[in-house]
Chain A
Amino acid sequence: MDTTIIGHRTPRVDGEHKLTGKADYTVDWQADGMLHGYPVPASIAHGVLETLHLEQARAMPGVVDIFHHDHFPELYRSPSSAAHQDQVSEVRLPFEDERIYYDGQYVALVVAESFEQARAAAHAVRADYRQEPGAVASLLDTEQEGRLLESEGVCRGDPDTAFDQAPVKIDHTYHIAAESHMQMEMHATLAEWRDGRLIVHESSQGVVYQHKALARIFGLPDEQVEVVSHYIGSGFGNKLFMWPHAVATAAASQMLGRPVKTVLPRQQDMESGGNRPASRQRLRLAAERDGRLLSMRHDSTTETSFVHAYVDSLGSATPSLYACDNVTISQRLLEVHHGTPCPMRAPGETSGIHALETALDELANALEMDPLELRRRNYNRSDPAKDLPWSSKHLDTCYDNAARRFGWQHRDPTPCAMRDGDEFLGWGMATASWGAMRMSCAARVELRADGSVMAACGTQDIGTGTYTVVAQTVAELTGVALENIEVRLGESTLPAGPLSGGSMVTATTLPAVAAALRDAIDALKEAATGEGGAFEGSDPQRLEIQAGALVDQQGTRVGFAEILTTLKLGSVNGEGQAAPGDEKRQYSFRSFGAHFVEVRWDPGISRLRVSRVVSSIDIGRAINPAAARNQVEGSIVMGLGMALTEKLDYDPRDARLINNNYTDYIVPCHADMPDIDVELLDNPDYAFNEFGARGVGEIGLTGIAAAIGNAVYHATGKRIRDLPITLDKVMTL
């Protein structure tokens, strides 16, 4: 479709609000008589809470109440499943029993008149524990294998025999440390009860889901709950779940009859507010001497907690990425004494593709073949996992373009062969990929008598630009200027929209908004052609939309506002639904891309830096190329941290998290930034949806750590199979 706004760089429609402070983040909300909650975290990871000493804290200035196991209302448990539209981090309710399952688990919630008073009193709460031996600090510190998940297994062909008989093979195990989302905005809840109705402001990636969960937990009818999340300072997945602070805060508000706001400190956010679980992956790959893959075997283990069975599905991309007849994946799950892991940007596949793309580099070395050429020789044109053609795959163009922009043809394949002064250069590459997903979605549109248009959907903008792409869609389909379009998101009482996860919001929401818009335009046409209307007696089918006006075949044009004003109508409304359909039986939908990375290694001072990244990514149509590029660039930065520095350090003796802050948990900073060159191909995938968009929030993170690790091998001759690749692993001791 020819477009004038969709597919064109569009400044954020909410940019001014963010710049001027008008954007109402959860922590900005105030309510009359509002109190402040501050959780008291357990200081052991495994054992039993025996006694809480509250006398000193109770006597401190401003303290109103302290909630804990013996002082908390009876609530209902909620399941945790996307199918129930109901995702919680723990099925267990706050303070439900006195067992401690992880470091930082809440043992009490202090409520006081001010945040500072609540924090001071929380520090004054003392607890006696009976610590139990055998805390599992990390999958990386234990020989335990975990339990096999039959439901996650996939097998085609005969991978074992093919592996045994193959002329060239590799068999290696890779570890990735647990990571923190390190989103800028903390988890936060403001809960208030008005006439028995629970209203919660929450930094949430799924207001509809949290709404359902709260209704179940408090035993309320659906209409007695409202969850609001107008702006989110990112979440990267850890705001897909509802965490215990939200339930504890809503319960405290109910018991005290006053609004209560709880904002987690960074330390607690990192201990108990979600993480990407550590993983162990064994990759066995076998090939013909010409590079054709004969067997792929991908066996993974990830962590989960003792209070949730979250599974990071590591091998899910492996059966689809390359042409190979013999493939098997397996997944194991090991409980550790951490707060619950949860999805983190490109969950599962970020870890899985890292191991696969590193193993392919090792296979290329074993074959004495260029690693890009190895991938080309195993290129597929349909999805072997589903036996369906790809809806739109242009990975070969990504390889060609990125390799050319990077200068890959000048690469000397020998490790440690490319040098610049004190530094060795390393060049590595990897494939990126992320499945395209779409859910069902509802939306509402109002065409208003003042000429404005309002579009509403119960999804949310997590900082990626959802407000803007919805406004672009309305502008594209109506010709109304962006400044006259109001977009409402982040309220659970709006028509039900998707979680902001899985890179699916754009592909899910825009078709529903378009359907609602068409419904509203039909209503407008009907009114305009009815009695007293501007086009009375005309055939509504023959009216067209042009620049916010209806136009008949004689060229008479009347603006939406005039049509409505003439009829004394404040607005006409439209409702719309959209859902995936038959296309899923005809095609497989997945995005692809390629990363090329240069690192510099100075062995004289053990200094490792990423100096260049060139990426070419095919995401179908980019609705807003400026925002889409921003997502890929941000993913690359996140991948730098995953590859080189980020690691949640759990003390092996007691499973306590020791680097629960921005100083000790090291994310990349500005001085670490390489030159980043991102190309987005523009091949609309109309088989997927009418706008041709597959989503862009996550794909950029997949493969980037592998490309960096492969470059490190090329620069140093050392293969580091454990992330992060800190200098002590690379240096000569």
Chain B
Amino acid sequence: MRSFAFTPAESVGQAVSAQGGDGDAAYIAGGTTLIDLVKLDVMRPARMVGVNRLPLNDVERLDDGRLRVGALVTNTELAHHPLVTAHFPLLSQAILAGASTQLRNMATTGGNIMQRTRCPYFRDAAAACNKREPGSGCDALDGINRMHAILGTSEHCIAAHPSDMCVALAALGATLTLVGPHGAREIAFGDFHRLPEDRPDREHEIEPGELITHVTLDSPVEGAGAHYLKLRDRASYEFALASAGAMIAVEKGVIREARLALGGVGTRPWHAQEAEQALRGQPPETVNFEKAAGIALRDASARQHNAFKIPLARQAIVRALEKATQAATDS
């Protein structure tokens, strides 16, 4: 492992000024992605600014019903927080479907949003990867790409976004607070993760030196049932082949509100907005769920080894919507 300078910060201001917008410096919280990639020589920060002492550990309900989550709240704390289990069960389910207890104990809310892909060619310093080394090519395109994305891909990158938590955030709707050298700003969660296009190395709408300080969830959908379904090669501690986070609110026999996002299939947390729109006003029946799945996957494109993800994602969507409907109360 390379040597790096480590500067623990006590406040957000101190952290931002210590980082200083330096491309060779990284913020470190739980370290579950960063340390892993430093050991593999894939990420090579010369300096790390420790943020674990920053006062960003609170979960609080705002007057308008939104939930403001500090960036350092761990995945474990967030998944089990009473306000989350009561009002945002999709988020709780999604977080608990990810990683292992040990990792969730270390991983933070902000860090999870910044989690990097598990594409094996990204993690192999000797392989061609436009995300790791812009312009070097993409060994995944014609390589072993069974785990790779089918939505939002480009000829430069097909790496799947790995997070489960982010799938729930995409469905729920949220706002991120970023603090950087030029002050604080807010950005919608749905605008934060970029498509790879021709610059897969630029994964986020984040400026040099900016730090995520809070995630604020939109107000919960009243009466909605939620279900997060993750399909994978083993029952736990494994990334999704396809996952679906669904919320359904039913009123007088028709869908009043629908939310749907996908994991394991997109190059970013995949919010299926058109499918949601198609569901609203329809009876919550399997035939409509199948139509919605078709819309969500209309633009999917597969490579040699991941064509099965298209029907698999369709199955995940339909079953998740069915289960969410069962959990909903018709009002």
Contact = CB atoms under 8 A, between A and B. Distances in A.
A605 B316 contact: yes
Contact of A658 (B121, B233, B238): B121
Contacts of B315: 604-606
B236 interface: yes
B144 A658 contact: yes
B237 A658 contact: no
B118 A663 contact: yes
Interface in B138-190: 139, 142-144, 146-147
Given A120-B2, A123-B2, A733 B235 contact: no
Interface of B, helix, strand, loop or mixed by DSSP = loop
A177 to B, nearest CB: 12
Nearest to B238: A666
B161 to A, nearest CB: 16
Interface stretch (A403-411, A667-675, A694-702, A710-718): A667-675
Contacts of A651: 139, 143-144
A401 interface: no
Given A119-B1, A651-B143, A605 B319 contact: yes
B198 interface: no
Give the interface size bracket for B toward A. 35 or more
Contacts of A609: 235
B127 to A, nearest CB: 8
Contacts of A604: 315, 318-319
A167 interface: no
A159 B231 CA distance: 46
Contact of B312 (A606, A656, A658): A606
Interface string B16-52: 0000000000000000000000010100000000000
A61 interface: yes
B146 A728 contact: yes
A412 interface: no
Interface string B111-151: 00000001011001111000000000001001110110000
B252 interface: no
A43 interface: yes
A179 to B, nearest CB: 15
Contacts of B1: 116, 119-120
Interface in B187-212: none
A572 to B, nearest CB: 52
A727 B231 contact: yes
Contacts of A554: none
Nearest to B308: A728
B241 interface: yes
A450 interface: no
Contacts of B236: 669-672
Nearest to B305: A728
Interface in A119-163: 119-120, 123
Contact of B231 (A120, A605, A668): A605
Interface residues on A, range: 20 to 34
Contacts of B2: 120, 123
A116 to B, nearest CB: 5
Contacts of B55: none
B234 A658 contact: no
Contacts of B69: none
Contacts of A658: 120-121, 124, 143-144
Contacts of A605: 229, 231, 315-316, 319
A664 interface: yes
Nearest to A662: B237
Interface string B300-331: 00000001100110011011000000000000
A671 B237 CA distance: 9
A733 B310 CA distance: 9
B234 A668 contact: yes
Contacts of B124: 656, 658
Nearest to B318: A604
A649 interface: yes
A645 interface: yes
A670 B235 CA distance: 8
A669 B235 contact: yes
B3 interface: yes
A43 B128 CA distance: 12
A342 B273 CA distance: 52
Nearest to A640: B234
A669 B41 contact: no
Interface string A603-622: 01111010000000000000
A666 B233 CA distance: 8
Contacts of A116: 1
A659 B234 CA distance: 16
A607 B39 CA distance: 35
Interface in B263-279: none
A671 B99 CA distance: 13
Which of B1, B144, B239 has its CB near the most chain A CB atoms (within 10 A)? B144
B235 A671 contact: yes
A727 B144 CA distance: 17
A671 B234 contact: yes
Interface in A590-606: 604-606
A607 B1 CA distance: 40
Interface in A553-602: none
Interface in A231-265: none
A566 B226 CA distance: 81
A608 to B, nearest CB: 10
A671 B1 CA distance: 33
A636 to B, nearest CB: 16
Contacts of B127: 656
Contacts of B229: 605
Contact of B241 (A668, A669, A727, A732): A727
A653 B238 CA distance: 26
A653 B143 contact: yes
A683 interface: no
A93 interface: no
A100 to B, nearest CB: 13
Given A651-B143, A731-B312, A120 B235 contact: no
A659 B120 contact: yes
Nearest to A42: B126
Contacts of B239: 663
Nearest to B146: A728
Interface string A37-79: 0000001000000000000000001000000000000000000
A649 to B, nearest CB: 5
A323 B113 CA distance: 62
Given A120-B2, A653-B142, A671-B236, A733 B41 contact: no
A606 B3 CA distance: 46
Nearest to B143: A651
Contacts of A672: 234-236
A442 B2 CA distance: 49
B126 A43 contact: yes
Contacts of B126: 43, 656
A224 interface: no
A672 B125 CA distance: 32
A726 interface: yes
Contacts of A644: 233-234
21 contacts: A61-B3, A120-B2, A605-B319, A606-B231, A609-B235, A644-B233, A644-B234, A649-B144, A651-B139, A651-B144, A656-B126, A658-B120, A659-B120, A663-B118, A664-B118, A669-B236, A672-B234, A726-B233, A727-B241, A733-B307, A733-B311
Interface of B: 1-3, 39, 41, 118, 120-121, 124-127, 139, 142-144, 146-147, 229, 231, 233-239, 241, 307-308, 311-312, 315-316, 318-319
Given A123-B41, A653-B142, A733-B307, 17 more contacts: A61-B3, A119-B1, A120-B1, A123-B2, A605-B229, A609-B235, A645-B234, A651-B139, A656-B124, A656-B126, A659-B144, A664-B118, A664-B147, A672-B235, A672-B236, A728-B241, A728-B308
Interface of A: 43, 61, 116, 119-120, 123, 604-607, 609, 644-645, 649, 651, 653, 656, 658-659, 663-664, 666, 668-672, 726-728, 731-733
